[in-house]
Amino acid sequence: MINLKLPDGSVREVEGPIDGLAFAGSIAKSLAKKALAIKIDGKVKDLSTVIDHDAIVEVVTAQTDDGLEILRHDCAHVMAEAVQELFPGTQVTIGPVIENGFYYDFARDEPFKAEDLEKIEAKMREIVDRNEPITREVWSRDEAIAYFKKIGEDYKAELIESIPAGEEVSVYRQGEWLDLCRGPHLPSTGKLGKAFKLTKLAGAYWRGDSRNEMLQRIYGTAWANDNDLKAYLTMVEEAERRDHRKIAREMDLFHLQEEAQGSVFWHPKGWRIWQALEQYVRRRIDEAGYVEVRTPQLLDSKFWEQSGHWGKYRENMFVVPDEVPSTDEDAPVLSGKAKLMAIKPMNCPAHVQIFKQGVKSYRDLPLRMAEFGCCHRNEPHGALHGLMRVRQMTQDDAHIFCTEDQIKGETEAFVTLLESVYDDMGFTDLKVRLALRPEQRVGSDESWDKAEKALEEALNDLGREFTLAPGEGAFYGPKLEFHLKDAIGRSWQLGTLQLDFNLPERLDASYIGEDGGKHRPVMLHRAVLGSLERFIGILIEHYEGKFPLWLAPVQAVVATITSEADEYAEKVAAELRAAGLRVEMDLRNEKINYKVREHSVGKVPAILVAGKREAEENTISVRRLGSQQQQTMSLADVVKSLAEEATPPDLR
């Protein structure tokens, strides 16, 4: 007798060993039909797995996350089979499940074309209709290597070669097709269904290393049923409408152009958002005990050599020779012999220079030095992306010089400040990562131990959830990263806190301690918004351009119905401006329908309509963005309520 406990807590007795499918059938025939796999003691296994001991058992269907994952994994396999059937000679490599779908990387000399995706999809449907049985086999490692080498699957053979000698590997046979895979898998291709779609085609390096050859990656999405697939595709379409580059054009916020690639031309309306945000952060850090400074753009390259950036990041810096360019038409503009300066890619060495002016005492610590520092980084062309990845960026940067004892307190204060700021923006699904020592780094292992521990402790004390990211720290210290996703699900790092025991040493910063001796301060590099450019990009997508009043570039438009109300509209606008609101007037010779439409499309939060009636009664008709209705209110009330609503969250 075997006792099997179900997720609902009930226990079923079965007579002897039973496989997953039979077990599902013993509960309900319909369940056997829907069963994709079986979860035994928390581990998902093939449906053919025999259960021979007491266990907690769950039948996995497409309605669960586990089931969807199997479905997507199988979809990748079916796609690989389809590709190899259609394009003989194509090698398979890896095909994992990702959020909402899967991909598979192929090696093939000729590139896949967009039209090929349809052909592959059609072939995939064919394979599903064939309902090929999928069976698991266990091979020895060496047997597997020999087999895949023989059939010309060099990448697969290489993958298996990295498995320790003597181990066994599992191979799944899917009809005629065969792939190395850990599994689990569906019992047959028919179970996959047809709620899948191949979405995009792209290059990807073999084993994620840019020194390796480039493979061709096909992305796809797969769901339990057609409705889910359709819902997902609709969601993606809607998300694309939130793209900050698109909304920025519609709202006239900024533009980018070839002649300054990666650097932003902020238009008046975009700059208003920037200003509202910068001034907000300035108030917040002021309150949190920071001092603001301003440091040079162009610095002698020796600072970057000392800081360690010159060696690792020189190729991403803009370097400028310190010489007078030649005015001789025939001579080269630059001699190539001059001393080099660099446009700063970060503010830290400059801040250390301020710290080093005069003698600092332990009484001066913690010293929180902030700068809305404009930095330039020569980012690779392929990395540039709207506001999210630019070459000229401004960070709400600060360096906290403190003692080791103060690290934890400062970290906690920073995280609290950051969360409060994000909260004011309405961001909720913040992901925190603790990035640990990379291979290439400076500083002793002891100082890294200390630094990593300090950050981890601070997070634990705050009770914050975070994930560890081994190997992803900065070269001078571990860092906390605060990530948010953009409209189409790409994750971006915004805020960060980096612990640094090294730079003060390298740039020789010191303070006099209580004991009268010289000590090294610790530096915390930190930014709440990260780059203002990126943060605004995320804000635009987050709000879909419909900013809360305090951030909206144009807070209200006064639109007239007839020219007889022009004078009154001027008065309304003047009163709103006097109350500190950003107001525009629309006195054009257009119908009110036209004006309402245009300002709605332009995402103006409040349209204030003035006609003859309003002018006579000293009222205004208010139509808020997103509403079909309007409300006539006295001018005084409108001014008061809009001014209140437009107050930044920290001043309320």
- Residues designated as active site: 348, 377, 395, 397, 399, 479, 525
CA angle 492/496/497 to nearest 5° reads: 160
Terminal-residue alpha carbon distance, the chain? 68
Binding positions for RNA, 86-145, rule CB under 7 A: 111, 113-114
Which residue of 185, 197, 272, 389 would you call a contact of RNA, by CB under 7 A? 389
Determine if the peptide bond prior to 164 is cis (ω within 30°): no
200 binds RNA (CB under 7 A): yes
Binding positions for RNA, 307-326, rule CB under 7 A: 309, 313, 316-317
Beta bridge partners of 218: 104, 201
* Residue 255 one-letter amino acid: H
Angle between helices 407-425 and 445-462 (to 10 degrees): 50
Question: Which range binds RNA by CB under 7 A, 53-61, 171-179, 214-222, 365-373?
Answer: 214-222
Q: What x-and-dash track marks residues 548-567 binding RNA by CB under 7 A?
A: ------------xxxxx---
Question: Residue length, the chain?
Answer: 652
Instruction: Decide whether 469 or 512 has the Cβ nearer to RNA.
Output: 469
Count of chain residues binding RNA (CB under 7 A) = 75
Binding positions for RNA, 227-256, rule CB under 7 A: 245, 249, 256
Query: Are 411 and 454 spatial neighbours (Cβ–Cβ below 8 Å)?
Result: yes
Coil, helix or strand at residue 213: coil
| Residue 183, H or E segment | none
Task: Report in angstroms the alpha-carbon separations of 515 from 356, 508, 512.
Answer: 20, 19, 8
Nearest distance from C-beta of residue 518 to RNA, angstroms: 25
Distance CA 189, CA 356 (A): 69
Which residue of 525, 585, 605, 635 would you call a contact of RNA, by CB under 7 A? 525
Coil, helix or strand at residue 4: strand
Instruction: Decide whether 37 or 348 has the Cβ nearer to RNA.
Output: 348
Which residue of 2, 22, 32, 201 would you call a contact of RNA, by CB under 7 A? 201
Q: What x-and-dash track marks residues 141-180 binding RNA by CB under 7 A?
A: ----------------------------------------
Binding positions for RNA, 473-492, rule CB under 7 A: 474-476, 488, 490
Instruction: Decide whether 191 or 244 has the Cβ nearer to RNA.
Output: 244
Which residue of 283, 453, 591, 640 would you call a contact of RNA, by CB under 7 A? 591
For 643, counting Cβ atoms within 10 Å of its Cβ (0-12 exposed, 13-18 middle, 19+ buried), the class is middle
262 binds RNA (CB under 7 A): yes
Instruction: Decide whether 47 or 398 has the Cβ nearer to RNA.
Output: 398
Distance CA 154, CA 108 (A): 12
Instruction: Decide whether 454 or 620 has the Cβ nearer to RNA.
Output: 620
Which residue of 214, 231, 331, 636 would you call a contact of RNA, by CB under 7 A? 214
State both tokens at 314.
């020189």
Which residue of 367, 609, 638, 639 would you call a contact of RNA, by CB under 7 A? 609
Q: Mind giving me the DSSP string for 107-132?
A: E-SSPP-HHHHHHHHHHHHHHHHHT-
Question: Which range binds RNA by CB under 7 A, 168-176, 186-194, 226-234, 618-626?
Answer: 618-626
